Amino acid sequence: MFNNEIIRPELEAVGKHLDEASIKVAGPLGKLVKKQLAGGKRLRPVLTLLCGRLFGDNNRSLSQAAAALELLHYGTLVHDDLIDNSELRRGEAAIQAGFSAELAVLAGDFFLAESVAMIGRLKNPELLEILGETLSVICGSEIDQLQNRGDKTNLRADYFRRINAKTGRLFQACAEMGSAIAGAEKSERASLSEFSSLLGTSFQIRDDASDYTGKSVELGKPVGQDLAQGLLTLPAIIFAEKNAGQTLERQKIIDSGAVESALMEAGVIREKALAILRSFSDSPARRELEEFALIV
């Protein structure tokens, strides 16, 4: 089982970078942001750090890049909560629910800008390019999703395009930055990028399934929200494929076995990711990445 203890010093450094960013937000909002940043699973920083370790690197730049990617992720979550009118984020009030929509827009923008600034301080143009392209892909995907919500002509293809562009792309950026900082060869970086993209896709399917099976208190966010807002994730898509013409209702989808089918698809994608990872020479770092992949 994966244990964060192996990268504890680097994760502590990530935490310090996040604290430094959060204290720039004044007043009660700053206190809420600090709590939310402390409450995440930090999967993306962990992935960044482990990808660097695969090539023997655990320097300060790696922790700073890992923190920047977490800030980018957090900024997109703040905007997501505003768009979805969510009330909870990581067990605390979502910013637009606890404060206002205006502050949510500005707070999300602030953390995206802070992410760019943090990478900029590393003085590495390649890392800035990775960050810029990632943010562009994520925002473009969100625009497409909002414009095409309700369009049911290509449900499965649209779903995978969306999660590849959002979660998959951010996981990919973790691998690209971690391996770039560590000085990996181009071919190694490409393979690790593909591994991480597939892992992100698998993770997102599992996360979407938890919207049907999880509990709000455990997840730190509302459940049942995707379907209620007309956002069809893989469980609903599988149900629609097998039950043409039937209304999409949360309990019917759960009872149909569609959630389990979605999780099986996630498992297949994760195995593809692991097959790529296992093409790297066996090492403690590779085994750490394998164990990490099995828990996300």
Which of 1.10.10.10, 3.60.15.10, 1.10.600.10, 1.10.3720.10 would CATH assign to domain 4-293? 1.10.600.10
Q: Are 235 and 208 in contact (CB under 8 A)?
A: yes
Q: Is 66 exposed, middle or buried (0-12, 13-18, 19+ CB in 10 A)?
A: buried
Q: Write down the pLDDT at residue 7.
A: 87
Q: Write down the pLDDT at residue 58.
A: 64
pLDDT tens string 214-235: 766 566 666 778 888 888 999 9
Q: Write down the pLDDT at residue 219.
A: 62
pLDDT averaged per 10 residues in sequence order, the chain, 296 residues:
74 94 91 86 94 83 96 94 85 88 94 96 96 96 83 88 95 97 94 97 96 71 78 94 91 95 98 97 91 93
**Other C-beta atoms lying within 10 Å of the C-beta of residue 118:** 23
Following DSSP, what letter does each residue of the chain receive, concatenated? ---GGGGHHHHHHHHHHHHHHHTTS-HHHHHHHHHHHHHS--HHHHHHHHHHHTTT---HHHHHHHHHHHHHHHHHHHHHHHHHT-SEETTEE-HHHHT-HHHHHHHHHHHHHHHHHHHHTTT-HHHHHHHHHHHHHHHHHHHHHHHHTT--TTHHHHHHHHHIIIIIHHHHHHHHHHHHHTT--HHHHHHHHHHHHHHHHHHHHHHHHHHHH--HHHHTS-SSHHHHTT---HHHHHHHHHSTT----HHHHHHTTHHHHHHHHHHHHHHHHHHHHTTSPP-HHHHHHHHHHTT-
- Could you tell me the residue ranges of all domains in the chain? 4-293
Q: Write down the pLDDT at residue 1.
A: 47
Q: Write down the pLDDT at residue 140.
A: 93
Beta bridge partners of residue 93, listed in sequence order: 88
Q: Are 57 and 181 in contact (CB under 8 A)?
A: yes
Q: Write down the pLDDT at residue 65.
A: 97
